[in-house]
Amino acid sequence: MLTHGHEDHIGATPYLLRERGDIPLVGSELTLALLGSKLREHRLKETVHHVVAEGETITFGPFVLEFIAVNHSIPDALAVVIRTGAGVVLHTGDFKMDQLPLDGRITDLNEFARLGDEGVDLFMTDSTNAEVPGFTTSEKDIAPVPERVFHKSAQRIIVACFASHIHRVQQVIDAAVANNRKVAYVGRSMVRNMSIAKELGYLHVPAGVLVDAKELADLPVDRQVLISTGSQGEPLSALSRIAQRTHSFVHLEEGDTVVLASSLIPGNENAVYRVINGLARWGANVVHKGNAPVHVSGHASAGELLYCYNIVKPRNVMPIHGEIRHMRANAELARATGVENVVMAEDGVVVDLVDGVASIAGKVECGYVFVDGSSIGDISESSMKDRRILSEEGFISVIVVIDSVTGKVSGPEIHARGFAEDDSAFDAIKPQIVDALTKAAAEGTDSYQMQQLVRRVVGRWVNKTHRRRPMIIPVVIEA
């Protein structure tokens, strides 16, 4: 069951289906359509899928699933009720409670209340914004920003947002239409997703507004709007290439306006600011979360979660979706409304619901599976760490030859990459390596220990004199 079409919920599905192609997929029309185009890219065509909508039920063995409309930063999101012999589970998926959403589809609190009266044994709730007090701002409240931007700008406007944020794209299209501008999409996922959304009726574009990006360039600059991917500073995205002036046909001009209409996902700060600086260097006016309210979150804040707990009145709560600090904050909210049993379970923890009581029953092995080029799961966390060291600290190789009869040390030959321009930087450490190895050879140390010794001597010196911790590869050859 896929609650909605965001990448963190559907992105791994092609890899799962490669292992087990017969797993049935359950989700709303838009969710499965977005997933379907992804599966086709992976050349996975034959899938078992069930398109469902709010109000519908579907049975899988001992589980009866029932779906409820929820509001989120992508249309057609669903919460799911799982009826089992052990009790009733309500899983919110990602959700918020915007009371004036752009598409008018609100989180169905009537249904939450009805289930609450019937009795919910386990309530699994989105923790993402549990630390944020109050209520998440309505999508409607940020509409003045695109309107103002369009009103003020006399040149080209580029808006970058998530390729799944159909409502944000709708806001930009509406503003473009109102200001007699034409719109083009740039970025593969933007083009793909918006054509799906338009075809299914989730995006409304008046005829003649949408043009090909290359055609757009022929129009006067005050009639151009580009909607692009890359709001998180992804290095290969359309926006990054525009900022670096390496995009094949979008060439930024002084006075153009660029809006980054999305949140800043933690960890992406450097990449995003690099793009903003790149755009500013060409003279663009950059509007982003740091200087204007251009984005609202897709997740319920603490106030909304409190309402949910009071409406659903669950017997047990299990916070989901978020880091441990978000889940703990969410657990506190549940307890504050009188929920006695809150189960804290991180990835891999097994929770059992027996006779209306949820408890931790075990743990299964789990972790990240890295997709590296065309290989899946072959690369480990330790090789990711090696790559990080290589990229940030560089690499030093030390080759020494030891005469196994006389114990005489030849070399060392030292080469570095990404560390020092000139290998002569290592001249100072060479005598110390020779001394240490000569002594070790006299004591009959084996070659593995000698390698460790070289690594230690070089590592200590590099750290002391250069304050760096590069990867050191010692090679000790006994000849």
Positions touching Zn ion (CB under 5 A) are 6, 8, 94
Compute the least distance from the CB of residue 161 to Zn ion, in Å: 14
Q: Which is nearer to Zn ion, 6 or 167 (CB)?
A: 6
Half-sphere exposure of 391 (CA within 13 A, CB side): 6
Q: Which is nearer to Zn ion, 94 or 256 (CB)?
A: 94
Q: Which is nearer to Zn ion, 35 or 216 (CB)?
A: 35
Compute the least distance from the CB of residue 162 to Zn ion, in Å: 10
Strands 257-260 and 285-287: parallel
Phi, psi (deg, nearest 5) at residue 359: -150, 165
Q: How far apart are CA 439 and CA 443, in angstroms?
A: 7
Compute the least distance from the CB of residue 266 to Zn ion, in Å: 14
| Measured CA angle at 149 (ends 145, 154), to 5 deg | 170
Q: Which is nearer to Zn ion, 27 or 87 (CB)?
A: 27
Compute the least distance from the CB of residue 276 to Zn ion, in Å: 25
| Helix, strand, or coil (residue 383) | helix
Secondary structure of 394-458 in HEC code, one letter for each residue = CEEEEEEEECCCCCCEEEEEEEEECCCCCHHHHCCCHHHHHHHHHHHHHCCCCHHHHHHHHHHHH
Strands 257-260 and 224-228: unpaired
Compute the least distance from the CB of residue 9 to Zn ion, in Å: 5
Q: Which is nearer to Zn ion, 8 or 22 (CB)?
A: 8
Residues composing the chain: 479
Q: Which is nearer to Zn ion, 66 or 94 (CB)?
A: 94
Compute the least distance from the CB of residue 51 to Zn ion, in Å: 19
Contact indicator for 109, 97 with CB cutoff of 8 Å: yes
The Cα diameter of the chain in Å comes to 88
Q: Which is nearer to Zn ion, 8 or 19 (CB)?
A: 8
Q: Which is nearer to Zn ion, 302 or 409 (CB)?
A: 302
Compute the least distance from the CB of residue 7 to Zn ion, in Å: 8
| Cβ count near 26 (within 10 Å) | 20
Q: Which tokens go with 66?
A: 């029932």
Compute the least distance from the CB of residue 138 to Zn ion, in Å: 17
Q: How far apart are CA 71 and CA 94, in angstroms?
A: 8
Contact indicator for 320, 334 with CB cutoff of 8 Å: no
